[in-house]
Amino acid sequence: MKTSWTPIKTAIVLALCGSLGAAAPAFAQANAPVKPQAAAPAGTANATIRPGDDFFAWANGDWLAKTDIPADRSSWGAMAGLAEDTNQRIVKLIEDAARDKAGSSEARKVGDYFSAYMNEAAIEAKGAAPLKPQLDRISAIKDKAGLTRALGESLRADVDPLNNTDFFTENVFGLWVAQGLHDTTRNMPYLLQGGLGMPDRAYYLDSSERMAGLRSQYQKHIAAMLKLAGYTDPEARAAKVFALEVDIANGHASRADSADVLKADNSWTVKDFAANAPGLDWSAFFKAAQLGDQQKFIVWHPSAMTATAALVDKIDLATWKDYLAFHRINQMANVLPKAFVDQRFDFYGKALTGTPQQSVRWKRALGATNEAMEEAVGKLYVAKYFPAENKAKLQQMVANIVDAFGKRVDKLDWMAPATRAQAKEKLKTLYVGVGYPDKWKSYAALKVVPDDAFGNAVRAEQFHYKDEIAKLHAKPDRTEWAMPPQLVNAVNLPLQNALNFPAAILQPPFFDPKAPDAANYGSIGAIIGHEISHSFDDQGSQFDAQGRLRDWWTKEDMEHFKAASSKLVAQYNSYKPFPDLAVNGQLTLSENLADLAGLAASYDAYRAAGGKNASDEGDRQFFTGYASSWRNKAREAAERRGILTDGHAPPQYRTATVRNLDAWYKAFDVQPGQALYLPPEQRVRVW
């Protein structure tokens, strides 16, 4: 998953391609006899639960019982803990860079950006004054032509629809720049739905009591922000702004539709916008957005373009101005005085995710610095903490798992030779980035002022937008990274036919050079396999070896693939973390397919690498390593949000994919009658 470093995120941790949220384990049968069937590493296994009843709870029971979610987090787990340790290291590097006047200019910029954010006294002394010029420009809008320019100027490039679980931007539309779906020789501008201050259309349209309560709290948040910025009659203004967002949400595509790239394959010329989405002067909008020289766009969400353009024409100018003002205040709140910061956290932290306590200032400063200069920070981290021998070992593991996946493809009796050849070509041309980018981004054009946190944030925002716009005049680069080295995460990039494994995830508990190979293949190996298999899941399989959106399957092969995938959809639809809320098997299909295929490929690679040394005990280490890597706890509000908006199932259900692998049954003597047991004919087998 690729996600922008938004101010909401107060640390650099992101889950592997998505949410780490988890509800209480939900597999154990209440009346089943409870006795352990196999040994797990000390401190992990729950002796009161059998592996075949709830493998997640069996492997992680002690950790679940002894671990509390930190007060400043909505969830906590293996990845979050690793990210916390990594953050502690990075912040010391940044503080050293701030003190080292003889260091590189880029390192000093990193230090100055961090120091400016940490200088709360300077921020408080300036008050809301830094925001005033921006609000004055909004206030000066006299007509719909001025509104159109303002909407265009607010466009930001921060959303990747193929690898983003948040999927929303507060700006009225989102921009993504990447190679074309069909033309691999040039980068294209993609336009996506946006304009919401809550995570998804469901938060505006769902009739449940909980959602109604969040809507009420959000409207109060709008009013509070406007009041802090000095606006009169904030409650009445907030009501109109909220009503406008409800109208915008009504035009949005659903999460499931957003994840369907075939529904996103819409090429519009500038003239098409005028015909398909009247109400907005699109030529003026694109000129203001620095896209005036672009003749073709890929419109990911046509319904949102049409609906929002109509609202520009329909809704009165005053409401639109208040809408723009609120969102600008909201976006910049974390570099404004404490009252703004606290109000933002009250809604996005406490109300939306159930997080009781805000992160300490240095964590928020680190998140902001990462957002502004992520690769510059990453360069500092790699130089200190990512040894060459780790990279070499990981590259060998990657090669082994790619080879194992290829052999699985060779053995598929249902796949036609033509389809198999295309699949093998994808593997052959796959770019795998390990640790850090082949070439680093330059921040020479970014101006950083040591005592100007607000100005630094604005300039960084403008720098990144110009950097993305510049890609429209350059050829696609399949080796470009989508994640910085210091991020605990990994990603598959379908348009580039590429994978990124940042340095920060390549350390314990996911990768330990001193651990048995079986444990490493079960943890980081499964992650590597997960990302490789994304090239062949329900979404990645639609792209060929060059990253073109193209049907390279025979009709019969695709029918078989869809039939097998539908069984996985049904399997995950049956999981209910809450009595009133089930996992969405279709929404989470891509990730569930990747979990299953990736774990299977990594298991094959482990057995092949181990040769005669592979054993039943090694198999238990392999599967236990996989389950332990997903240990996680989440607050209910965060868990519910994830189920509604995240393309990933909660971790305990991701762990449960082991029930589809025959080797797991043998390793833990899983028998009929146990909760996770599936008869062989019901085990999902895709790759």
Which residue in this structure is represented by tokens 């300036």?
126
The pLDDT assigned to 256 comes to 84
CA torsion angle for 105, 110, 113, 115 (degrees, to 10)?
-100
Question: How far is Cα 73 from Cα 594, in angstroms, rounded to an integer?
Answer: 27
pLDDT, position 614: 81
Residue 197 dihedral angles phi and psi, to the nearest 5°: -95, -10
538, 396: one domain:
yes
Token readout for 648 is: 């990933």
Contact by Cβ (8 Å): 336, 123: yes
In the three-class reduction of DSSP (H, G, I as helix; E, B as strand; rest coil), residue 408 is classed as helix
Q: Is the residue at 384 inside a domain?
A: yes
Nearest to 476 by CA among 502, 497, 499: 497
What Cα–Cα distance (Å) separates residue 181 from each residue in 83, 176, 189?
A: 34, 12, 11
- Token match 């290829």: residue? 406
Asked if residue 580 and residue 454 are part of one domain, the reply reads: yes
- What the block records as the tokens of 681 is 């004919």
| Residues facing 499 on adjacent strands | 432, 492
For residue 502, whether the previous peptide bond is cis, meaning omega lies within 30 degrees of 0, is no
> Would you say residue 493 lies in a domain?
yes
Give the SS3 label for residue 219: helix
Could you list the residue range(s) of the whole structural domain that residue 255 is in?
Answer: 144-315
Which CATH number does the domain housing residue 301 bear? 1.10.1380.10
For residue 661, being part of any structural domain is answered with yes
CB 105 within 8 A of CB 435: no
Residue pair 9/71 in contact (Cβ under 8 Å)? The answer is: no
Mark whether 370 and 433 lie in a shared domain: yes
Residue 331 lies in a domain: no
DSSP 549: B
Residue 107 lies in a domain: no
Same domain, 557 and 495: yes
pLDDT for res 33: 27
Cα separation, 388 vs 216, in Å, equals: 53
Please state, in angstroms and rounded to a whole number, the distance separating the CA atoms of residues 348 and 354: 9
Residues 395, 497 within the same domain = yes
Q: Residue 314, exposed/middle/buried by CB under 10 A (0-12, 13-18, 19+)?
A: exposed
Q: CATH number for the domain including 425? A: 3.40.390.10
- pLDDT at position 255 is 86
Distance CA 277, CA 297 (A): 13
Are residues 587 and 664 both part of a single domain?
A: yes
Among 288, 315, 342, which residue terminates a domain?
315
Say if 392 falls within a structural domain.
yes
If asked whether residues 271 and 405 sit together in one domain, one would say: no
Q: Could you give the maximum distance between any two Cα atoms of the chain, in Å?
A: 78
117 occurs within a structural domain: no
**Rounded to the nearest 5°, which phi and psi values hold at 294?**
-95, 130
Do 425 and 569 share a domain, yes or no? yes
H helices of 336-447, where? 338-345, 352-353, 361-385, 388-410, 417-429
413 shares its domain with 543 = yes
Question: What is the tally of structural domains in the chain?
Answer: 2
Q: For position 35, what pLDDT does the model report?
A: 30
- Cα 242–Cα 176–Cα 111 angle in degrees, nearest 5: 90
Low-confidence ranges of the chain (pLDDT < 70): 1-47, 102-103, 164-168
Mark which of 315, 337, 353 sits at the end of a domain.
315
453 and 536 within one domain? yes
Question: Rounded distance, CA 546 to CA 429, Å?
Answer: 8
Q: Which of 277, 292, 315 is the last residue of a domain?
A: 315
Nearest to 87 by CA among 437, 381, 355, 372: 381
- Would 600 be classed as within a structural domain? yes
Give yes or no: residues 190 and 289 share one domain: yes
User: What does 550-605 look like in DSSP terms, one character per residue?
Assistant: ---S-HHHHHHHHHHHHHHHHHHHT--SBTTB---TTTTHHHHHHHHHHHHHHHHH
Identify whether 509 is preceded by a cis peptide bond (ω within 30 of 0).
Answer: yes
522 plus 626 within the same structural domain? yes
